[in-house]
Structure 1
Amino acid sequence: MSVDAMIAAAEKWIGTGEPNAIQQWYRERNGADYNGNFAWCDAAVSYWATRADERDAVLFGHDFAYTVAHAARFKAAGRWHAMTDGIKASGIRRGDVIFFDWDGSSEIARIDHVGIVTGVSADHRHVFTIEGNTADVCARRARDVHDIAGFGRPEYKRSPKTPDTGGGTGSKRPVVSLSKLVAAFEKDAPREGTPVSYKPTIYVENALVAEKLLAKQYADGHAGSATRSAYSLWQERCGFHGTEPGGDADGTPGMTTLKRLGLLHGFDVAA
């Protein structure tokens, strides 16, 4: 699903302060009412959706700077979910557009702020987000239920499927099997000179090198401790937390983070 493209568009702006190019982009499209250093959290969501080619799903074809109007549009489309039953019961998930009321209500008219969901903590106590205009920058945040008014669920496009390449002819992109990759990671293969237990591991390692999380000398096809540590950093970058064994960022690949890596670096993922 191109929810990954939406989140990738947001991640490129992490650390951006103000004034910024998102504000300028919104001003050029929507006029002088947006001169100066205006609040840009929803302008950022509008920008990311435009770059991800998801304007219909996220914006219903419009730009938004006013969070109340944006949430109301989700409601009019039947895609609004008020946060009245807690994080777990709400079913909030990666890619949802999350709206906040700092006073703790779930009323659309009182919404203050907006972001994009990147994940939910294993204990369902926090929702992980990327937000523009949070303390005047674009940043990752962990939000608890008190601040969440509700969320809109975009109907994202599905990415076109690429044929399973598994070694056959006519392949365009390599395929990494998640189950085989996890088995290779669990073996914690030794260094150079020993057989590689799963050759497509190299695609994952090369992607981690490209993300500047793994030193190039460790991209040798052996899923060793350096690779596992680098993958843990990738999981954290994707919004997951918990580096202890069994945590969401413990260095063991999962489908969500592996697909995200493949989307950015040219491989597909199979079970």
Structure 2
Amino acid sequence: MSLDGMIAQMERWIGTGEPNEVQAWYRQRNGAAFAGNFAWCDALITRAATDAGERDAVLFGTDYAYTVAHAQAFKEHNAWHAMTNGIKNSGIRRGDIVFFDWAGSSNIGAIDHVGIVTGVSSDYKYVYTIEGNTANVCARRVRVVHDIAGFGRPKYKAAPKATSTSSSSSTSKRPQVSLAKLVAAFKRDAPKKGTPVSYEPTIYVENALVAEKLLASKYADGHAGTATHSGYALWQERCGFHGADADGIPGMTTLKRLGQKHGFDVVA
């Protein structure tokens, strides 16, 4: 496939809890040592790379459940980049396999967790990811430099060339958010128990609110709950709206302004 194919395979597992198919698949391949509800963040990377046809690029032909061994493999193949000079100077980018040490070191031996990078904020303060086994589910997350030990850069296959030259074909790689679907999600999700996701692009709005320091990163989960409402109301106030006009339900003006600043397009 390609870099985008790898990310697409990660995206299809978003919302998966545990125990799950990934764990059963990995156990079948690698034996009883992986019985029970084992940590599956790197098993998910392994599954996605296998399904995407990117085992050589991402896994060097080997299954991984142990994040330290996986990061070490990137180092042995001269594809490891320690996070020692900040997000911007590191060059971390979409498609990189990102490894985390919650204690804040860049030591491979201290790595706790792994995911894939889907983007970097325009101010280089945040790295956007998809991760398995984060709060026991697969989810999009927003990470800061302190948590990132480093990243591996796979040599993905080239994306297939487009066969159509139609002028109507879109060349934009920016995510799209439908205002109508987003508003419906804001109205539908908040009363629900738990954190069901009724409109996945909600995560782009939440990531932007996190970048604006209007929403705690733990609430960037694709569920338009009460915290997301409150964060969006603060964004509306920042845009100059008050009272009933800052009710936490997105409108076209404020949403477009948020998207222009944080890398997504808005459609009706």
Normalising to structure 1: TM-score of the pair? Answer: 0.67
2:261 counterpart (226, 247, 262): 247
Partner of 2:187 in structure 1? none
Seen in structure 2, the aligned counterparts of structure 1 residues 36 and 119 have a Cα distance that, compared at 3 Å, is same
Residue 123 of structure 1 aligns to a residue in which SS? coil
**What are the ranges of 5 or more consecutive residues in structure 1 without an aligned counterpart?**
168-173, 183-203, 216-232, 254-271
DSSP-derived class of the 1:73 partner: helix
Contact 1:99 1:114 in 2 (8 A): yes
Which amino acid letter does the alignment assign opposite residue 169 of structure 2?
A: V
Superposed, 1:107-122 pairs within 5 Å as 107-122=107-122
CA distance in 2, matches of 1:158, 1:64: 24
1:94 and 2:88 are equivalent in the alignment = no
The structure with the largest alpha-carbon Rg is 1
For residues 23 and 155 of structure 1, do their structure 2 counterparts lie closer, same or farther at Cα, with a shift above 3 Å needed? same
Letter matched to residue 208 of structure 2:
H
Measure the CA separation in 2 of the matches of 1:132 and 1:58.
16
Give the 3 Å change call, closer, same or farther, for CA 98–58 of structure 1 in structure 2. same
Residue 3 of structure 1, CA deviation: 1.1
TM-score between both structures, scaled by the size of structure 2: 0.68
Contact 1:129 1:239 in 2 (8 A): no
1:176 paired with 2:170, answer yes
Residue equivalent to 1:14: 14
Identity of aligned residues (%): 59
Matched residue SS, 2:170: strand
Post-superposition offset of 1:160: 2.1
Aligned counterparts of 2:17 and 2:166: Cα–Cα separation in 1? 44
In the aligned structure 2, how far is the partner of 1:238 from the partner of 1:165? 32
1-structure distance, mates of 2:46, 2:206: 21
Structure 2: 5+ residue stretches without partners: 185-199, 210-254
| 3-state SS, counterpart of residue 176 of structure 1 | coil
Q: Which amino acid in structure 1 is aligned with residue 142 of structure 2?
A: A
CA drift of 1:110 comes to 0.6
| Equivalent pair of 1:82/1:151 in contact (CA under 8 Å) | yes
SS in structure 2 of the partner of residue 29 of structure 1: helix
SS at match of 2:262: coil
The residue aligned with 2:195 is none
What number of residue pairs does the alignment pair up?
204
Cross-structure match for 1:137 = 137
Q: 2: distance between equivalents of 1:252 and 1:155?
A: 32
8 Å contact 1:119–1:239 — kept in the other structure? no
Cα distance, 1:166 vs. partner? Answer: 2.6
